[in-house]
Amino acid sequence: DAKTTQPNSMESNEEEPVHLPCNHSTISGTDYIHWYRQLPSQGPEYVIHGLTSNVNNRMASLAIAEDRKSSTLILHRATLRDAAVYYCILKEGGSGGSNYKLTFGKGTLLTVNP
């Protein structure tokens, strides 16, 4: 299984940008990088995904290193509602069963201070 490494926790102040790092040194060429976040007692929520190029959507931006061995999720202005556990996972490309076996680690617990 392709694995990712994230810091256990990070802290931010409200209305400041947050950069959440993820290392995935064993990523293969067809793996997509997905980010999810999970609020307490809820299911994870999809945030953003990318393959090689940087991506933007209404929730966040995803910056992917040129060698694809790391990525950074960027929340441009953190709010209290962004406090959650953020998971960086690799979605294996190709057909077959491995495409469906997604590995969620412990993620990064983001605390946002008012």
Phi, psi of 36 (to 5 degrees): -130, 160
In the complex, the smallest distance separating the C-beta of residue 14 from another protein, rounded to whole angstroms, is 25
Q: Would you say 13 or 36 has its CB closer to another protein?
A: 36
Among positions 53-112, residues that touch another protein (CB under 8 A) are 87, 91-95, 97, 99-107
Query: Which of 10, 51, 63, 74 touches another protein (CB under 8 A)?
Result: 51
Give every strand in the sheet of 55-56, ordered side by side. Answer: 18-23, 70-75, 61-64, 55-56
**Would you call 99 helix, strand, or coil by DSSP?**
helix
- For 68, counting Cβ atoms within 10 Å of its Cβ (0-12 exposed, 13-18 middle, 19+ buried), the class is middle
- Nearest-approach distance from CB 42 to another protein, in angstroms: 5
Residues found near another protein in the complex (CB under 8 A): 30, 32, 34, 36, 41-46, 49, 51, 87, 91-95, 97, 99-107
